[in-house]
Structure 1
Amino acid sequence: MFLSAAVAVFLTGVTEPLEYMFMFAALPLYLVYAVVQGLAFASADLIHLRVHSFGNIEFLTRTPMAIKAGLAMDIVNFIVVSVVFGVAMYFITNFMIKKFNLATSGRNGNYDTGDDASDETASNSNAGTANANSQIVKIINLLGGKENISDVDACMTRLRITVADIAKVGDEAAWKKAGAMGLIVKGNGVQAVYGPKADVLKSDIQDLLDSGVDIPKTDVTALEEDKTADVSFKGVIEEVATVADGQVIPITQVNDPVFSQKMMGDGFAVEPENGNIYSPVAGLVTSVFPTKHALGLLTDDGLEVLVHVGLDTVALNGAPFSAKVKDGQRVELGDLLLVADLEAIKSADRETTVIVAFTNTAEVKSVTLKKTGQQAAKTVVAKVEL
């Protein structure tokens, strides 16, 4: 949305696509914006600025004529004025949005993700109170309430939240009623397993905490269990290859309960000999996590595959990883997905195990690991029935 509006303004000079995005939602900002724009127009009378165009395409086509007419310095002045007022407006906008918590696009629940849980998050925010039935409010209450939350983070598989008092956190049964696949508690750290949508939930939680909206208290022991629709299996077989040269092991042997207990779904793992990680299936890259240690794939038959490199490697902030694909890219079985610096991972005291998990568990009828032990990358080692 932002990109398309910016391109329209850049090419045509019509500013309404941007202005209408905040004109009514953040009126104080628009009033300041109008004054700054007026000052920018007034500068044409204060300095030599005898050029005019509707958008940058027209500006470029008129530039040769302006130079021939002796208006070269006017063009320079035009560029300087544009840069000065553009930078000034950026800092003014940034300050006002943060200072006054303005509801510009994407903030304070002022967004539409197409996900019912997210839509519910702040549906009552105009009334000053969040929707008690939304998934985000349930999660915040499971964490002991807003005051008990110290830090909110996430990786490709789970929410990672630090709390002040671990005794106030709901038990695993309550978390599962709120849609979690599992719960791990370490000290004051809470890891709630939600799969690839964990990062989206993190953003929604942080948005609600920052919004200033009242978050109603709910009884976490009385949560209704999320209903799952009946699934009819497709009768399709998917063959899945190993992602790296090395020892293929059952997922139950992974040194992380989120994977070994199959909270993220069934699958297998590889103890890699080198850092080249290949696609185990043909399909679409649905997500590359910002720290590049994990990514999601979707096959044509609907199998969702998570490739996760290393254990707790999200804390390395992407340093040992180089992604070779991007979101929305089509890949074939055996295409290079990413390169990992295994020595750097080991130096950070992390395990290098690569996990392949099939995350749409409700649609997976069975997983058969056909080969284990030493295997070459791109070798078919598993069969998944949908």
Structure 2
Amino acid sequence: MAMTVYAFGVSLVLGGGLISFFPRFIIPLSTNHMDAIIIFFIVGLAFSALYFLIFRWSILKFDIKTPGRDVTGEVKLHTKKDYKAKKAAEASNDQEPVASGTSPVRQSNNPNAKKATHFLEGLGGSENVTDINNCATRLRVSVADESKILDDAFFKSGGAHGVVRNGTAIQVIVGLDVPKVREFFDEIVEDES
């Protein structure tokens, strides 16, 4: 846009927003150079229309997923009553009776609890885990017997982004929700030991 405005003989600094644009461009030039202001607004409107048409065509042609577009094309607004009913259903599902001898975390519908259960199974069970730690994105575990650890595909099927192995030191790359996964992981190991 700047190149087009310059081609029409208008020299200005683009950027900074409308509030800074008025005192730096419109007010000083309004007395003697109204043609420059008019050129700027005509070019701006033309580029706005161009941007709209190009982006709309691209989004529809290549089916680019953008916020507010549902896969089915329908938008449903939920009421507060719908939200409360959904939360009540989730709470009742989380309070299912737990079979004796199993950790309550293993019965949870929480996705992070499911990941923790899956990763523990891939690491050879709670009896194989000797130390648990984490960093920003990885669950760091020391194991007693590295031969009990399953292959990387098993961990990826449970939501991991990968596995780093260094002898008995294992790092499961979980992502930014690793602190939540670790809480459930610790709880399962505690309950089963």
Scaled by the length of structure 1, the TM-score of the pair is 0.23
* Structure with greater proportional strand content: 1
**Structure with the greater relative contact order (CA < 8 A, sep ≥ 6): 1 or 2?**
2
Could you say which structure has the larger radius of gyration? 2
